[in-house]
Chains A and B, each alone.
Chain A
Amino acid sequence: MDTNLALLLLLAPFLGFIFNIFFGKNIGKTASGVIGTLAVVLSFAATLYFFTQINASQQAIQIQLFDWIQISNFKVDFGFLLDQLSVLWLLFVTGIGSLIHLYSISYMHDDENMHKFFAYLNLFIFFMITLVMGSNLLVLFIGWEGVGLCSYLLIGFWHKNQDFNDAAKKAFIMNRIGDLGLLIGIFILGSTFSTLDYASLQSAIAGATNLDVTTLSIAAFCLFIGACGKSAQIPLYTWLPDAMAGPTPVSALIHAATMVTAGIFMITRLNYVFDLAPDVQNIIAIVGAVTSLVAATIALVQTDIKKVLAYSTVSQLGLMFLALGLGAYEVAVFHVITHAFFKACLFLGSGSVIHALHGEQDMRNMGGLTKVMGITFFTFLISSLAISGIPPFSGFFSKDEILLVAFENNIALWIIASLASLMTAFYMFRLLYLTFFNDFRGTEEQKNHLHESPALITFPLIVLAILAAIGGLISLPTNSWLNGYLAPLFSKEVHEAHHFGATEYTLMGIAVLGGLIGIGIAFYKYIKQKEVPESDENITGIAKTLYNKYYVDEAYDLIFVKSINSASNLFRDHVETGLTSLVFGLGKITNELGYQGKKIQNGSIGLYVLFFVLGLCAIVTYLFLAQ
């Protein structure tokens, strides 16, 4: 029963994908959208069933299907594992997934390839479920690569535009860099412990005597590289902002709520590995903190509404990694969940705005949408408050815990994280003000067509806004349901509910204050002074550097892409020809010898006889005189 249900959970989106890809075109847009959505909802329902079961029984469910890859010292099978972590993840993956599917029915209605869009979305959900549900690292890897593929397909959904295709390709390749790291990590774990199964791995590590920490650290580091790629951390983060080329629901689902959190999922899953590699944990924390700050600074000056959100995502993911690095896995998971709510809402909201403006994404051409788009505005506002860490919205609780953990471990990390939070508040409200307040700055035509989005779009917004508002309840500082729920997963004792003393309250106050300061500055700048960001060419100074994202893309382009391309040119034009002429030069030389040899054969009998005589003399001399 459980097996079948789990398979249903897994395969429902896949069947949706199959159905849509083969028949979607014939059954009409709405029908294909509905089927796609239903498939995910089905999964969601199954997940709910498992959630209640596991929440009650605390028993993980293992499902083994059949052998897959055979290695000399171990076998990898198609196995699935439903435990607290995976079910939790599935819950919001399928849950938010369902909402976004619903949203897309309306949002993508004008696109001729809507059935494909739903097919890809379903496929994504399928792979995401595989990723989460897999009971070993290789099944995770299937999902890991699979979601990368869907990300590729969906970013490049409008494939007529080669820039979008470039973005899609970039996302795929940067992910693959991480994937290589992940694979290497898998190799090391596999050869050290002869298993890739989570459970056996955990017991192997637990049971191992004199573990080689270095090997384990290398493995952990490699895994972390994988996580970096998927979760857009420095140095592999540049694909995520570019990935905004895809349709907005995609950004919401894949590049905000679900896929990018896979890295966090994986590290949480393998917490027992990372716990044994403190050096790697430090690296993770530092990388997370730096990423959150860098991304936040870039987000300060961006003018594309989705780009701001994208950098915001990177920044938030950085905060989660910070928590992971500090060993506070449950805190990271908490932030993942709240982030999924409010970031999905923000993206969908921005989608609603873009929808209303017929594709306009530049905030300089927006403004004053409060009146026409009330629901969108309110949901957006709630989510913005949540992400800015204003109580009592969900973000406040999760972010605060991260800051708390950071403060406990390292004051510098806390400062960085706090700065990032402050900036978050600023750029989010900058976004909000520029988009919804003041006068409309777009064209007349756009102005005439301004409208609130249909119910199919606003309904998910409302649901998500509610979740963003109340999501913090699952892990209140003093009474955390989440911590208790996740506790069986972690080898270390989960942080005891904090003793809330003066320090904690001060910190909380500082955080809230920081958020308010950020909001205040934004208010002053964009409401009071009605400032509008300069057009591209007028941006100067630090702002220009920030606006151009520290020129990281350019640097990568120069260092990696250009050099590899010029290497390719070099190889193609010179090394290849060189090698060819080296090998076939021998043939040429022989040929030339033949040509020169023809001159000796000049037709003269005298010469021939002379050679005859010389040959005779040589042989006779050698045989009879030289001895």
Chain B
Amino acid sequence: MDNILNEIGIENYIFLAVILFSIGVCGVLYRRNAIIVFMSIEIMLNAVNLLFVAFSTYHQDTQGQIFVFFSMAVAAAEVAVGLAILVSIFKNMGTISIDKLKNLKG
């Protein structure tokens, strides 16, 4: 089987991943809604996952894909904990806007 990268080129995947990653970064900065911020972080992680798979193909190596599993596990765990914190905040403050999280400063 021919390596698919001969058609597309690993650079393109890198660029795609970078842009996707950057959109995620942008989202973290742009949005005040904590849930959307979470989502943005997920986008970042997914961008990396995508690149992992691309590299895995590039090297014709399984490990990259294995790592994606771990990365997914981590993402899941993070989201679980993150949402738990979020719920806790919502209970206490009635909002999930991260703009309201400015009590600690200075």
User: Which residue of B has the minimal Cβ distance to A599?
Assistant: B106
* B32 contact set on A, CB distance < 8 A: 606
Contact of B99 among A604, A609, A613 (CB under 8 A): A604
Q: What's the Cα separation between A604 and B103 when bound, in Å?
A: 9
Contact of A603 among B28, B29, B103 (CB under 8 A): B103
B91-106 with Cβ < 8 A to chain A:
98-99, 101-106
* B102 contact set on A, CB distance < 8 A: 602-604
Decide: B28 and A609 in contact? CB cutoff 8 A. Answer: yes
* A598 contact set on B, CB distance < 8 A: 105-106
Q: B10 at the A/B interface (Cβ < 8 Å)?
A: no
Decide: B105 and A610 in contact? CB cutoff 8 A. Answer: no
Q: A605 at the A/B interface (Cβ < 8 Å)?
A: yes
Decide: A609 and B29 in contact? CB cutoff 8 A. Answer: yes
User: Which residue of A has the minimal Cβ distance to B25?
Assistant: A613
Known: A604-B99, A605-B98. A613 touches B29 (CB 8 A): yes
Decide: B101 and A605 in contact? CB cutoff 8 A. Answer: yes
Decide: A603 and B105 in contact? CB cutoff 8 A. Answer: yes
Known: A609-B28, A609-B29, A613-B25. A603 touches B98 (CB 8 A): no
Decide: A606 and B98 in contact? CB cutoff 8 A. Answer: yes
Q: What's the Cα separation between A604 and B98 when bound, in Å?
A: 8
B36-62 with Cβ < 8 A to chain A:
none
Chain A interface extent, by class: 10 to 19
Q: What's the Cα separation between A609 and B106 when bound, in Å?
A: 16
Q: What's the Cα separation between A609 and B105 when bound, in Å?
A: 15
B contact residues, total (Cβ < 8 Å): 12
A588-627 with Cβ < 8 A to chain B:
598, 601-606, 609-610, 613
* A606 contact set on B, CB distance < 8 A: 28-29, 32, 98
Q: What's the Cα separation between A613 and B25 when bound, in Å?
A: 8
Nearest Cβ on chain B to A620's Cβ, whole angstroms: 12
* A613 contact set on B, CB distance < 8 A: 25, 29
User: Which residue of A has the minimal Cβ distance to B32?
Assistant: A606
Q: What's the Cα separation between A598 and B105 when bound, in Å?
A: 8
* B28 contact set on A, CB distance < 8 A: 606, 609
Count contacts between A and B, CB distance < 8 Å: 28
* A602 contact set on B, CB distance < 8 A: 102, 105-106
Q: What's the Cα separation between A609 and B24 when bound, in Å?
A: 12
Nearest Cβ on chain B to A88's Cβ, whole angstroms: 87
| Chain B, interface SS category | loop
User: Which residue of A has the minimal Cβ distance to B105?
Assistant: A603
* B104 contact set on A, CB distance < 8 A: 603
Q: What's the Cα separation between A601 and B106 when bound, in Å?
A: 5
Q: Mark B63-106, 1 if CB is under 8 A from A, else 0.
A: 00000000000000000000000000000000000110111111
* B25 contact set on A, CB distance < 8 A: 609, 613
Q: What's the Cα separation between A602 and B105 when bound, in Å?
A: 5
* A603 contact set on B, CB distance < 8 A: 101-106
Nearest Cβ on chain B to A473's Cβ, whole angstroms: 99
Nearest Cβ on chain A to B59's Cβ, whole angstroms: 23
Nearest Cβ on chain B to A537's Cβ, whole angstroms: 74
* B105 contact set on A, CB distance < 8 A: 598, 601-604
* B103 contact set on A, CB distance < 8 A: 603
Q: Mark B9-33, 1 if CB is under 8 A from A, else 0.
A: 0000000000000000100110010
Q: What's the Cα separation between A610 and B29 when bound, in Å?
A: 7
* A601 contact set on B, CB distance < 8 A: 105-106
* B106 contact set on A, CB distance < 8 A: 598, 601-603
Nearest Cβ on chain B to A285's Cβ, whole angstroms: 81
Nearest Cβ on chain A to B105's Cβ, whole angstroms: 3
* A609 contact set on B, CB distance < 8 A: 25, 28-29
* A604 contact set on B, CB distance < 8 A: 99, 102, 105
Q: What's the Cα separation between A613 and B28 when bound, in Å?
A: 11
Nearest Cβ on chain A to B100's Cβ, whole angstroms: 10
Q: Mark A280-308, 1 if CB is under 8 A from B, else 0.
A: 00000000000000000000000000000
* A605 contact set on B, CB distance < 8 A: 98, 101
Nearest Cβ on chain B to A116's Cβ, whole angstroms: 69
Q: Provide 20 A-B residue pairs closer than 8 Å at the C-beta atoms, listed in order of the A residue.
A: A598-B105, A598-B106, A601-B106, A602-B105, A603-B101, A603-B102, A603-B104, A603-B105, A604-B99, A604-B102, A604-B105, A605-B98, A606-B28, A606-B29, A606-B98, A609-B25, A609-B28, A609-B29, A610-B29, A613-B29
The list of the 6 closest CB pairs from A to B, nearest first, reads A603-B105, A603-B102, A598-B106, A605-B98, A602-B105, A606-B29
Q: Kindly list 16 other residue pairs between chains A and B, CB separation below 8 angstroms, not including A602-B102, A606-B29, A609-B25.
A: A601-B105, A601-B106, A603-B101, A603-B102, A603-B103, A603-B104, A603-B105, A604-B99, A604-B105, A605-B98, A606-B28, A606-B98, A609-B28, A610-B29, A613-B25, A613-B29
